[in-house]
Amino acid sequence: MSQQNICPEWPEIRREEYRGVYVYAEHDGNSLKDVSLELIGKARQLAVDLDGAEVAAIIIGGTDAMARELVETGADRVIRIVGEGLETYNPVRYSMAIAQVLDKYRPEIVLIGGTKRGRELAAYIANTLKTGITADCTELEIDKASRDLIAIRPTFGGNVLAGIRCPQRRPQMASVRPGVFPKPSRDPTRRGEVISERVDVQDGRMRLVAVERKVERDVADLPPVEKADVVVVGGRGLGSADGFHLLVELARALNGTIGASLMAVRAGWAPHTRQVGQTGKTIRPRVYIGVGVSGAVQHIVGMLESKVIIAINTDRNAPIFRYVDYGVVGDYKEIIPRLIELVKAAPKPTPTEKQPV
């Protein structure tokens, strides 16, 4: 690949020096994030298309048990970064440390879980290395001829997918949405190497001074709206905060959580963090149940990828019925209480009983 006419701010690189698929393994001190393990699994697949390249995990701190888990889920090598100033999370120091290690090992591909912290680090690392990065991918492929990574991600509100590549620069980086790849099972017979890498990042410009757990003023014991298998979403049609309490009860009975339309949030029945739609969360649960939601396009774009869509609405002409698998025309006040009874009476499924949909 020609290096002419390249921005003078970018260091010169030789593509062929870069080999291996690396994953940044995020953890919270106690355990690894699921997405990091999902990525190890994906990295193994990509490695096959790269003539059996090495799969490695980079972890800052962490425990021996975590290193073992990474090896047993598919890493050939685990690079443990240790050094002063890395005891607590710090975006600048963490990204600089990771960038230093990447610059030394020169992998061909770097994958980072699209958690909040992961996305905070990813772009800074890429910029430090002056390479390209694709955010929030939902699929990854290799173009065997060029060894280029094709990073596929939704764009324009999820209507469209784009495949993005980075032909000139290495490593090729991508952050990946949690939950899109399966978590590989552990193979206790797998062996791998664990290397400790001492890194010195003396940057004293920012310090963590306090951590608190946020207590949501809404139903704190229900999971966040983007995290549940079943999401019961209330709209303006509920008519009152009492209506929302009914939905909470249904959500509990279904082991799910609640969400809200913009209008329900405006009415003060649910916090903004539970809003689904263009200016709220994008959710893709197994089951979405919209109650008293009309189905404005701004709402729909936030839930269109749900596996099963259900709606209850008094108005048979409500646009939401265009998007449903199952729709019930009727007053939720009469239907939901009965539904709750039926759900409660039914035997709970054990996870294995759940059928794929």
Ligand X SMILES: Cc1cc2nc3c(=O)[nH]c(=O)nc-3n(C[C@H](O)[C@H](O)[C@H](O)COP(=O)(O)OP(=O)(O)OC[C@H]3O[C@@H](n4cnc5c(N)ncnc54)[C@H](O)[C@@H]3O)c2cc1C
Applying CB under 6 A, which residues contact ligand X? 235-237, 261-264, 275-280, 292-294, 296, 298-299, 302, 312-315, 318, 331-333
From the number of C-beta atoms within 10 Å of its C-beta (0-12, 13-18, 19+), residue 30 rates as exposed
| Rounded Cα gap, residues 283 and 305, in angstroms | 7
Decide if residue 127 touches another protein (CB under 8 A): yes
Task: Report the residue number, 52 or 356, with the smaller CB distance to another protein.
Answer: 356
Distances (CA, A) of 348 to 252, 351, 355: 12, 9, 13
Task: Report the residue number, 241 or 342, with the smaller CB distance to another protein.
Answer: 342
Position 352: which residue type?
T
Q: Enter the tokens of residue 199.
A: 């890194």
Stretch of 37-45, 57-65, 203-211, 239-247 lying at the interface with another protein (CB under 8 A): 203-211
Contact present, 38 and 183 (Cβ < 8 Å)? yes
Contact present, 312 and 295 (Cβ < 8 Å)? no
Cβ density class 144-159: b for 16+ within 10 Å, e for less: eeebbbbbbbbeeeee
Residue 293's binding partner among another protein, ligand X, none (Cβ under 5 to 8 angstroms by kind) is ligand X
- Quote the least distance from Cβ 49 to another protein, whole Å: 16
Decide if residue 267 touches another protein (CB under 8 A): no
Residue 180's binding partner among ligand X, another protein, none (Cβ under 5 to 8 angstroms by kind) is none
Task: Report the residue number, 198 or 209, with the smaller CB distance to another protein.
Answer: 209
Task: Report the residue number, 54 or 321, with the smaller CB distance to another protein.
Answer: 321
Q: Enter the tokens of residue 128.
A: 């430090």
Residues 36-65 that bind another protein (CB under 8 A): none
Residue 321's binding partner among another protein, ligand X, none (Cβ under 5 to 8 angstroms by kind) is another protein
Decide if residue 86 touches another protein (CB under 8 A): no
Decide if residue 206 touches another protein (CB under 8 A): yes
Residue selected from 2, 8, 12, 198 as contacting another protein according to rule CB under 8 A:
8
Q: Enter the tokens of residue 233.
A: 């979403």
Residue selected from 16, 64, 84, 120 as contacting another protein according to rule CB under 8 A:
120
From the number of C-beta atoms within 10 Å of its C-beta (0-12, 13-18, 19+), residue 293 rates as buried
Residue selected from 15, 106, 119, 245 as contacting another protein according to rule CB under 8 A:
119
What string marks each residue from 233 to 252 as x (binds another protein by CB under 8 A) or -? --------------------
Contact present, 22 and 57 (Cβ < 8 Å)? yes
The 21-25 sheet, strands edge to edge: 133-137, 172-176, 109-113, 21-25, 55-60, 77-82, 193-198
Residue 145's binding partner among ligand X, another protein, none (Cβ under 5 to 8 angstroms by kind) is none
